[in-house]
Every structure is written in C-alpha cells, then in structure tokens.
Amino acid sequence: MSSRFSIATPLGNFIAEYSENGLAGLSFPDRKPDSPDHETGEPKISPKVRDWHRITKTALKNMLDGHEPKELPPLDLQGTEFQKNVWRAMLKIPYGKTKSYGEVAKAVGKPKAVRAVGGACGANSIPVLVPCHRVLAANNKIGGFGSGLGWKCKLLEIEGVSFADSRVRQPRRFSAGRS
C-alpha cells in the first residue's frame, strides 16, 4: 500500500507518501515527483492514513511558519540500521539548533563516520520533518543538501539559525507556486 498526497504551502506543493506503517517520504516542490500532485494509490484511503496526512500537513505548515511541530505522524524510516540511527539522532536536534556531521557521528557511536553521516543525511526520504537541514559541516558551514542549498538555507532561516559559508551569501527566496 502506498498513498501520495499533495500538501499546498506558500513555498509550493510538497508530496507526502505513506506506507502501511506511516509517513515514508516527503518531496520538496522543486523535485519532480513520480506521480502528479494529487492523491494516488488505492481509491479508498483508510482513516489511519487520512489522520497521518492531517498530522503531516500541520507539522509541515508549522515548520514552514517558523514553529516547532507539536506532533509528527508515525515515521516509516526505510534504510540501513546506520541510516536509521542517524535519522533518529537528527530528530533529537532541537528546533532552531544545529549539530555538525561530526557531532552526529559521535551521537550514533561512530565518531569516524562523518562522511557516512553526510550520506545518511542525503538519503533521508522525509526531509524537513526529519531535520537533516540542521546538520552542518565543520566551523558552522552549510555543507550539502540533497534538495539544493537554497532549501537548506531557507529552512535554517525559518528556524532563525545563522551559519557561515562563503558560497552562500543570501538564502534564496522562494515564492508560492514556484516549481
């Protein structure tokens, strides 16, 4: 079972994908999803998935409005055990705060696995809600981001986080409906 729903925000339409276990994916508006921006999957959607989607919409909108979400839907984290450990560590980074790739590596008990932490961040299928944008490179530099540095900068800006990076002068401004 897989269901996809569009979530309209002032920054564009995100696509949320649900498995039978919870939220399994969240795509940024600037990515080209595999399906159209509307509900797909089984014609009859279970009340459980509808509830998860309501929670996801509220959490995403809170994040994009500059507020920490009070509740997240069940997360269906699909990856290796190491990746799941990294994603769980990212969920513990407080709203408006950051950690370095090295700090996350230490938090998961693999202090030398800094590059692997970066790879796990890049493999995160539920960005924004599993906050890989809160993981920065050494010396508070921006690092990379699978959906582009513009999105990472925007999410950090929304949370009031400052960072140092000569490659990024001004966070890119997004307008509603831009894809």
> Would you name the residues annotated as active-site residues?
132
The whole-angstrom separation of Cα 69 and Cα 112 is: 32
Please enumerate in sequence order all residues whose Cβ is within 8 A of that of 4, keeping only pairs 6 or more positions apart, or say none: 15, 16, 17, 18, 33, 35, 39, 40, 41
Look at residues 125, 122, 179, 177 and name the one whose alpha carbon lies nearest to residue 149.
122
DSSP state of 37: S
Separation CA 19–CA 13 (nearest Å)? 20
Determine contact, residues 134/90, Cβ cutoff 8 Å.
yes
Is the separation of the CB atoms in 117 and 104 below 8 Å?
A: yes
Q: Quote the CA–CA distance of 99 and 133 in Å, as a whole number.
A: 10
